[in-house]
Amino acid sequence: MRIKMWIAALLGLVCLTAALAEDGGATIIGEDAPRQAMVESVVEQLERLPLTGVKIGLDPGHQARGNNEKETVAPNSSEKKAKVTSGTSGVASGVPEYVLNLEIAFRLRDALESQGAEVFMTRETHDVDISNQERAKMMNALGVDLVLRIHCDGSENRGANGIGLYCSRSNAIAEESYRAAEAILPRVCEATGAKPHATVQNDNYTGQNWSEVPCVMVECGFLSNPDEDRLLNDEDYQWKLATGLTNGIIDYIAARDGA
Ligand SMILES: [Zn+2]
C-alpha cells in the first residue's frame, strides 16, 4: 500500500530531523521526548484524514475478453446473464471501455488513499476472467464500506452525455447505496462540469444484486458521444472525476457517521 510507505517515509523524516537536532546540540528534555512528540503529531494528523479507517472497493468494469457463460443475476433469481462482457468503446478514440475504466479507477484509488482510505480493487490488469458475481463476492468477503463499480456508458443517441449512477432497488443494501449515490452525484458533477444524467434504482445488474455492502455503479460519461469520449480519455479530466468521486465519498461517510 502506497499510503503505508508514505507514513513510513514521514516517520523516517521525523526521526532524522530529531536526530539532527540532537547532533546540533539542541536541548533535549528527557532523551526521546521531542522525537516522540513529533511522531505523535504526525500520527495524529494522519488519523484526522477524512477517510482514515474507511475501506473502499473499486471494480473497474469489464475485462479484455468477455465471458459469455451464464450466471444468475441475483441470489434468489433463476434469471441468468453473461458472466462479464467486454463493454463498449470510444466512438472518436476507439479506446475500449475496459481500458478507461481501469485508468479512472487507478486515479480514484490514489485520490482515495491520499484521504486516508484503504482501497481494494477487483482487478489491476485487463487480462483477467472475473465474473460480475465473483467481483461482488470479493468485496462482500472484504467487508468494505462502499463499492464503486467504474464504467463508461454508450447510447444510440450520440448527443447523450453526463454522469449516471445506478444502485439496486430491492436488496438489503438498496437504501444505503442510494444514499451514497445521492452524496456522490453533485460532487462529481461539480468537479467535472458534467451534467447529472441520472440516479437510477433497478435490479438489472448482477454486480449490485449480489452485493452485501453498499454499492454504486458509476457511468462516468458516454463513449458514444465524441466530445465526452475525448474528455474521458484526457488525464486531467480523469483526475477531476477521481477528485469529485472522492469528495462525494467523503460527504457520504461523514453523513453516515453523523459527523
Ligand atoms: Zn460498462
Q: Split the chain (259 residues) into runs of 10 and give each run's mean pLDDT.
A: 54 50 50 82 81 98 97 95 95 98 98 98 98 98 98 97 98 98 98 96 97 98 98 98 98 94
Q: How many Cα atoms within 13 Å fall on the side-chain side of residue 218?
A: 33
pLDDT in the model for residue 39: 85
Q: How far is the CA of 60 from the centre of ligand 1 (A)?
A: 9
Q: How far is the CA of 205 from the centre of ligand 1 (A)?
A: 11
Q: Are strands 67-72 and 163-167 parallel, antiparallel or unpaired?
A: unpaired
**Among residues 34, 96, 102, which one has the least CA distance to residue 65?**
96
Q: Beta strands of the chain (E only): which ranges? A: 55-60, 67-72, 80-84, 118-121, 146-153, 163-167, 196-201, 215-222
Q: How far is the CA of 143 from the centre of ligand 1 (A)?
A: 24
Q: How far is the CA of 69 from the centre of ligand 1 (A)?
A: 17
243 touches 251 (CB < 8 A): no
Q: What separation in angstroms does the CA of 181 have from each of 62, 94, 214, 215?
A: 21, 29, 10, 9
pLDDT in the model for residue 259: 72
**Among residues 146, 129, 137, which one has the least CA distance to residue 181?**
146
Can you give the pTM of this predicted structure?
Answer: 0.85
| pLDDT tens-digit readout, 43-101 | 777 678 999 999 999 999 999 999 999 999 999 899 999 999 989 999 999 999 999 99
**Among residues 134, 157, 155, 151, which one has the least CA distance to residue 207?**
134
Burial class (CB in 10 A: 0-12, 13-18, 19+), 24: exposed
Q: How far is the CA of 196 from the centre of ligand 1 (A)?
A: 18
Q: How far is the CA of 108 from the centre of ligand 1 (A)?
A: 17
Q: How far is the CA of 225 from the centre of ligand 1 (A)?
A: 15
Q: How far is the CA of 237 from the centre of ligand 1 (A)?
A: 19
Q: How far is the CA of 37 from the centre of ligand 1 (A)?
A: 49
Q: How far is the CA of 217 from the centre of ligand 1 (A)?
A: 9
Q: How far is the CA of 184 from the centre of ligand 1 (A)?
A: 19
Q: How far is the CA of 88 from the centre of ligand 1 (A)?
A: 7
**Rounded Cα gap, residues 165 and 178, in angstroms:** 9
**Rounded Cα gap, residues 233 and 149, in angstroms:** 18
